[in-house]
Chains A and B, each alone.
Chain A
Amino acid sequence: MTAMPSMRRFIVMWIAVILSVLTLVDGLLAYGAAEKGLAETRDRALARIAAGYLRALRAQDADTSKIPASVFREETGDDDTPELRFRVSDSRGLLLGGDPQLRFPADKAVKDKLVQAALYDDGEPGDRWRVAAVKDFILTRAQAEPVVVQVAESHAARTASAHLLGMAIAGKQLLRLGLALSLVYAVVMLGLRPLERLRAELARRNAHDLTLVADQRPQELAPLVASLNALLLAQQSAVDEQRKFLADASHQLRTPIAVLRTQVQGLLLGQTDTADTLPKMLRTIDRATALTNQLLAMAKVEQLVRRADWAEVQLDQVARDVALEFAPLIARKRLDFSLQAGPMSLRTDAWMLGELVKNLLSNAIHHSKKGGALGIVVRQLKHETEMIVWDHGGGVDESVLGRLFEPFNASKSGTGIGLGLSICRQIAESMNASVDIFNRIEAGEVVGVDAVVRWPGLRDA
């Protein structure tokens, strides 16, 4: 048996996959939004710092060193101020003070917007800077002159901040995912507990225990347990049948031996008449022999059914062979026998089919009156192949008709040994056929028996 995948693992695994994908998407979106927010915040901080510088220049306030830290604290709520560059130029771009490496805005679009503040990127690939530029007039030597203040922050600093932000988001998402997965696992384990309980219950049973499994189960398990119980019931009834059969068989086999023993002892003690007793003993032996043969035939049928050695068998030929075999018996009773059978092939075991026909024909001969008519008909109906073994023996009592196929039933009513029809049914069932006994009524009177075997849908239409 190949190992089937675990249901628990399947459920947990797929929930984990789904949660992970959701968390990843959610994290990426959150990171995107946070990064955008970060850029806006820092752009705003740069612009405010530039404006602050301009104000400081205008107020001739020399101490500008605290501006960046206080603005960043206000904007980002963070004490950590990135490294910044400054430049003050006149309107033509002439350096008045600060970092000469920070270039005067070259872009006309930027310069046109300089009334308030402009934000733009500058620098070389690998050394990119974000720049805020502000232009205003300040008084120098009693004359208002335009001055441009630039404040720049390296992109590297921003990326580092974004990384930190990303890490924080990832950490939070992972924590959430872990928590969710633990909860899912716990719920799945709890949810599947009834299944595990059922498994443990079944594992504890011993092989001969056929009592029913308790059926208070969750909705999903109830049908399974119901089917299981149905199987157990069927098994129990098979075991009961077997037990009854064994009891019946023991009784049937021991009785003739007990009778024989009594008869022999009676003879030994001189209490019974030899000429009278011996023929009775012979009949007892014949009865026991017939029963033994039937029991062995039954065991052989069981074995053959299991071995299932099916082949194409000619039903008409088997019927003819059985008739030939039974001809001496038919002749001894001067019975008027007829076989009506066209070529008809069946897929079955030749020995079993022969045994079926023999049992039915033997019954028919047994129940026929001397000189009576009997026969076998094999014919093809629209949807089935049919074999009828019929006789003129007066029929079967309606009260036993329903129980004829039970083992030893016939013997109780004293007409036969009791296993023949059981064997017939067993054989018929093994080849997916049915066997039934009907009283044949002619002119309102039961005149005999039709033993009918039907094989469904074997022929092409």
Chain B
Amino acid sequence: MGRPTIGAVNILLVEDDLDLCGALMRVLAPRGFQLVCCADGLEALQMARRHEFDAIMLDLTLPGIDGLQMLQRLRDGASRTPVMVVTARGTVEDKVAGLNIGADDYLAKPFDIEELEARLRALIRRSKGEEELRCGNLRLDRETQIFFNGFRPLDLSPREGALLKALLQHRGQAVTKEALREAVFGENAETSADAIEVLVHRLRKRIAGAQAELMTLRGVGYLLIDEAIAGRDE
């Protein structure tokens, strides 16, 4: 057990497998994460209340109290520390229960270290409100709300901007046409989902050469993906 360290990203790891704790500490330390390990739910709860952590990684199967109960008590105590549930239970019910009680993300064991790091960083950025919206060379400046292709500002209409923002928020993930229509035209707007197609067509031209690809999943929605990632899998 240790103290949160200044300068590093401080994570409370609630996990009863000491081998996994040790391995994660060693692997994450060079990436700028300082892990405090705790194998018991009640101890972890005290620790979380006493110290400021950037995020909590929580296993569900724990001695003392169950991970979900611990999360419940933590949220009842009005703690806002982001929590990522990491478990081998891996059923939909557990996932839904965890997210309902107030987990911010969910990762099934075994996991890829790269993915864990990316998810943890995204989680912390989101919780601090500094989420950076970027994909390829596309970037949204949070201060000015201006989109950039590299260093060149993009000239987008407000609707194109709203569309790109919605896609950037879910980069790498598909967004349904309905969700995009809501994001662009508002919840009660009487526009057909086809209006989005026209808008996507225009946006595609505007972001050409930005190393970001706007893909269509016909019948489902659209997806913005970093060209470096697209086609990486052979």
| Chain B residues with CB below 8 A from A451, complex form | none
Contacts of A328 in B (CB 8 A): 172-174, 223, 225
Q: Mark B211-231, 1 if CB is under 8 A from A, else 0.
A: 001010111110101000111
Query: Are A327 and B230 in contact, CB atoms less than 8 angstroms apart?
Result: no
* Known A331-B225, A351-B92; contact A340-B230, beta-carbon cutoff 8 A: no
Among A285, A334, A351, A376, contact of B230 (Cβ-Cβ < 8 Å): A334
**Contact between B174 and A323 (Cβ–Cβ < 8 Å)?**
yes
- Chain A: how many interface residues by the 8 Å CB criterion? 26
Cβ of A293: which chain B residues have Cβ within 8 Å of it?
Answer: 90
**In the complex, B5 has a CB within 8 A of chain A:** no
Complex Cα spacing A337 to B232, Å: 17
- The verdict on B190 contacting chain A, using a C-beta distance below 8 Å, is no
Q: Chain A at the B interface: mostly helix, strand, loop or mixed?
A: helix
Check if A411 is an interface residue, CB within 8 A of chain B: no
In A314-368, the 8 Å CB interface with B consists of: 320, 323-324, 327-334, 337-341, 351
Task: Kindly state whether residue A448 has any CB partner on chain B within 8 Å.
Answer: no
B233 within 8 A of A: yes
Picked from B110, B176, B218, B234, the residue with its CB within 8 Å of the CB of A370 is B234
Which residue of B90, B176, B217, B233 contacts A337 across the interface (Cβ within 8 Å)?
A: B217
How many positions in chain B have a CB within 8 Å of any CB in the partner chain? 23
Known: A331-B172, A331-B215. A337 touches B110 (CB 8 A): no
Of B218, B220, B229, B234, which is within 8 A of A327 by CB? B220
In the complex, are the beta carbons of B230 and A332 less than 8 A apart?
yes
- Which residues on B sit within 8 Å (CB–CB) of A289? 110
Let me know if A395 is at the binding interface, CB within 8 A. no
Bound Cα distance from A370 to B172, whole angstroms: 17
CA distance A339 to B177 in the complex (A): 13
Residues of A within 8 A of B172 (CB): 328, 331
- The smallest beta-carbon distance between A364 and chain B, in angstroms, is 14
- Which residue of the partner chain, among A324, A332, A370, contacts B221 with CB atoms under 8 Å? A324
Interface string of B68-97 (1 = CB under 8 A from A): 000000000000000000000011100000
Nearest to B234 among chain A residues (CB) is A370
Q: Is A375 an interface residue, CB under 8 A from the partner? A: yes
Asked whether, in the complex, the Cβ of B174 is within 8 Å of the Cβ of A333, the reply is no
B178 shortest CB reach to chain A, Å: 10
Of the candidates B173, B220, B221, B225, the one having the most CB atoms from chain A within 10 angstroms of its own CB is B220
Give the docked Cα–Cα distance between A219 and B215 (Å).
Answer: 72
Contacts of B229 in A (CB 8 A): 331-332
From the candidates A285, A323, A333, A351, name the one contacting B220 in the complex (CB within 8 A).
Answer: A323
CB closest residue in chain B, given A293: B90
Nearest-Cβ distance from residue A45 to partner chain B, whole angstroms: 104
CB distance from B189 to the nearest CB of A (A): 22
Q: Is the CB of B218 within 8 A of A338?
A: yes
Q: How far is the CA of A375 from the CA of B217 in the complex (A)?
A: 9
A331 to B213, CA, bound (A): 9
Of chain B, the residue at the smallest CB distance from A320 is B220
Q: Are A324 and B176 in contact (CB under 8 A)?
A: yes
Closest A residue to B111 by beta carbon equals A289
Q: Do the beta carbons of A339 and B232 come within 8 Å of each other?
A: no
Q: Which residues 154-186 of B sit at the A interface, judged by CB distance below 8 A?
A: 172-174, 176
Cα-based distance from A338 to B229 in the complex (angstroms): 21
**Residues of A with C-beta under 8 A to B174:** 323-324, 327-328, 331
Task: Looking at the assembled complex, report how far the CB atom of B218 sits from the nearest CB atom of chain A, in whole angstroms.
Answer: 4
Query: What is the CA–CA distance of A333 and B231 in the complex, to the nearest angstrom?
Result: 5
User: Which chain A residues border B91 with CB–CB below 8 Å?
Assistant: 300
Complexed CA–CA distance, A285 and B230 (Å): 25
- With A332-B229, A332-B232 given, is the CB distance from A320 to B218 under 8 Å? no
| Bound: A337/B217 CA distance, A | 5
Kindly state the separation between the CA atoms of A339 and B231 in the bound complex, as whole angstroms: 21
Closest B residue by C-beta to A330 = B217
Give the residues in chain B near A370, CB-CB below 8 Å.
231, 233-234
The contact of A341 among B92, B213, B219, B221, by CB within 8 Å, is B219
**Minimum Cβ distance to chain B for residue A21 (Å):** 68
The interface bits of chain A over 291-311 (1 if a CB of B lies within 8 angstroms of the residue's CB, else 0) are 001001000100000000000
Residues in chain B near residue A330, CB distance under 8 A: 215, 217
Inter-chain contact A375/B218, CB cutoff 8 Å:
yes
A153 to chain B, nearest CB (A): 102
Is B218's CB under 8 angstroms from A337's CB? yes
Chain A residues near B218 (CB, 8 Å)?
337-339, 375
Please, which residues of chain B bring their CB within 8 A of the CB of A296?
90
**Given A332-B229, A332-B231, A332-B232, is A338 in contact with B219 using a C-beta cutoff of 8 Å?**
yes
Does A340 contact B220, Cβ atoms closer than 8 Å?
no
Nearest Cβ distance between residue B41 and chain A, in whole angstroms? 25
Q: List 24 A-B contacts (CB under 8 A).
A: A300-B91, A320-B176, A323-B174, A323-B217, A324-B176, A324-B220, A327-B221, A329-B233, A330-B215, A331-B172, A331-B229, A331-B230, A334-B215, A334-B230, A334-B231, A337-B220, A339-B218, A339-B219, A339-B220, A341-B219, A351-B92, A370-B233, A370-B234, A376-B219
List 5 additional A-B contacts (Cβ < 8 Å) besides A331-B225, A341-B219, A375-B218: A320-B220, A324-B174, A324-B221, A328-B173, A331-B213
Cβ-closest 7 pairs across A and B = A339-B219, A327-B174, A338-B218, A332-B233, A331-B225, A323-B220, A334-B231
